[in-house]
Structure 1
Amino acid sequence: MRITLTSIFVDDQRKALSFYTDVLGFTKHHDIPMGENTWWLTVKSPEAPESAELLLEPAGHPAVKPYRDALVEDGIPLAQFTVDDVEAEYRRLREQGVVFTQEPTDIGTAVVAVFDDTCGNLIQIAAIKDA
């Protein structure tokens, strides 16, 4: 069994595509019209092209807003992406205007930081330490 697709709810799919590709560096994988102003829109990591796709899912379902609002209010990231160097990625993203809600923090087994994806979610980046 493998994870091939996971999704993240976004307020605006086109804005999310721009952020996830132009700022974070993912590549667009699928962009299939699914109706008026809705697409099957996925991105992938260019560093791991065989990895799972991330679906930029419209946040229109009524359960999404209270769920995401509660996570953001509590500072809980909706997703985590692995990076080689959290400090370097933190600096790179800050230079592009990304707002962090948690600066790089050593938690023992990893270094983590959390940012606002501009699409309604908090995202954690992590560099796992070798044991």
Structure 2
Amino acid sequence: MTSTVNLIKLSVGTDSVEGLAEWHATKRAQTGDGLPRHVTRMWPKREAEILNGGSIFWVIKGAIQCRQRILRLDEQIGSDGIRRCAIVLDPQLVRTQSSLRRPFQGWRYLTTQDAPPDLPEGRENEEALPVELNQALAEIGVL
């Protein structure tokens, strides 16, 4: 039986979940069938686990703030002839409980046990805590 694993990725140049949604609405960020995608140089070795219900968790302004379900991985050959991986995503952004993350390059695997839970129904439109407050709460063990 295949387990599930997620990816975690910094959303560079994005200041909010709404900003990420705006980027995904651009033609440049979409596949031919209109779905949002993220193109990466490396192909995930744990493809079967990712495609078994995995999501990409987005780090925005130092904290995981939302996730998107990963629908498929498409091969994309760049104009330079290099093979890349287009991570094709469900358009729905699901807000999660905020979870601080230090900067890193590329993407990382994130187990389902380490992934922050989705916000409860009715709270998905709440503003995230300011980064400084979130960090202070994490430091004293509240988050």
TM-score of the aligned structures, taking structure 2 as reference length: 0.29
Higher helix share: 1
Query: Which protein, 1 or 2, shows the higher relative CO under an 8 Å CA cutoff with sep ≥ 6?
Result: 2
